């Protein structure tokens, strides 16, 4: 299992000033009930009664794991969270997950912090069909696709000249301690001129986050022929 070296990090990691933090507005406990069996027919029955068949894995190598628990979560709750946050932001946010014997007044079986690992939506309706969660204890390291938020387009020198922003990446994968998973990463375009690009290594992140790909991979680039004032008016 991937774990932080507690001897070199005796105190809990915290978000640093100036870096994005999760919005407490969406700090919601996801409710679930146990599911004894799996299969297409069982999943179809769960969806028919307003539940999403789901799985919770134990964190082992940051992505896969054992100690599998079959559960079902509430369709309306998952749909609401995905709608409010956006799919990529939902998949980069920690939630408390409480498994109860039944929804409502049932006994609590397990309460654990989790990261949504995979989300399968219906192609036509965007209804959640399956959700996979992974347990996220503080000493774990998790592979997370962090969404990128581009800022400064209004003052970007290249865009102001009539060039355009070629967005190459919408998310970047990092190895993250769960306590400081960023909800997104700001990408500053305010000084980017024609022909210039930003690389993964240019992104400003918490020093405890580890890049999982080359730092030389491009994130975005200002490119294209300059548009004349007359063309812009058209």
- pLDDT tens column, 143-181: 999 999 999 999 999 999 999 999 999 999 999 999 999
Please list, in sequence order, all residues whose beta carbon lies within 8 angstroms of the beta carbon of residue 50, skipping any fewer than 6 positions away.
74, 75, 76
CATH top-level class for 27-137? mainly beta
Task: Say which residue the tokens 């134990």 belong to.
Answer: 58
Q: Are 64 and 2 in contact (CB under 8 A)?
A: no
pTM to 2 decimals?
Answer: 0.84
pLDDT for position 8: 45
Please list, in sequence order, all residues whose beta carbon lies within 8 angstroms of the beta carbon of residue 22, skipping any fewer than 6 positions away.
93, 94, 181, 183
Ranges for all domains in the chain classified under CATH 2.170.120.20: 143-226
Rounded Cα distance between 112 and 98, Å, is 7
Classified by CATH at the fold level, domain 143-226 comes out as RNA Polymerase Alpha Subunit; Chain A, domain 2 (2.170.120)
Ranges of the chain whose pLDDT falls below 50 = 1-10, 62-63, 227, 229-230, 232, 234
pLDDT for position 1: 33
Q: Calculate what percentage of the chain has a pLDDT beyond 90.
A: 71
pLDDT for position 6: 42
Q: Which helix (H) or strand (E) holds 83?
A: helix 75-85
Ranges for all domains in the chain classified under CATH 2.40.240.10: 27-137
């Amino acid at each position: 299992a991937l774990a932080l070296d507690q001897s070199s990090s005796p105190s809990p990691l915290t978000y640093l000033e100036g870096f994005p933090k999760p919005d407490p507005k969406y700090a919601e406990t996801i409710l679930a009930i146990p599911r004894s069996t799996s299969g297409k027919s069982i999943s179809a029955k769960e969806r028919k009664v307003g539940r999403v068949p789901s799985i919770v894995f134990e964190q082992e190598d940051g992505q896969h794991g054992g100690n599998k628990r079959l559960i079902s979560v509430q369709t309306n709750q998952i749909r609401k969270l995905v709608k409010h946050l956006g799919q990529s932001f939902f998949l980069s946010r920690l939630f408390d997950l409480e498994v109860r014997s039944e929804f409502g007044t049932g006994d609590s079986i397990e309460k654990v912090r989790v990261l949504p690992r995979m989300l399968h939506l219906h192609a036509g309706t965007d209804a959640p069909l399956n959700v996979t969660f992974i347990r996220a204890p503080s000493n774990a390291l998790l592979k997370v696709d962090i969404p990128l938020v581009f800022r400064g387009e209004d003052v970007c020198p290249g865009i102001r000249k009539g060039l355009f922003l070629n967005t190459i990446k919408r998310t970047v994968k990092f190895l993250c301690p769960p306590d400081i998973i960023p909800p997104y990463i700001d990408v500053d375009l305010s000084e980017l001129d024609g022909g210039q690009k930003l690389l993964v290594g240019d992104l400003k992140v918490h020093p405890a986050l580890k890049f999982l790909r080359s730092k030389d991979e491009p994130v975005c680039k200002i490119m294209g022929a300059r548009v004349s004032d007359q063309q812009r008016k058209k």
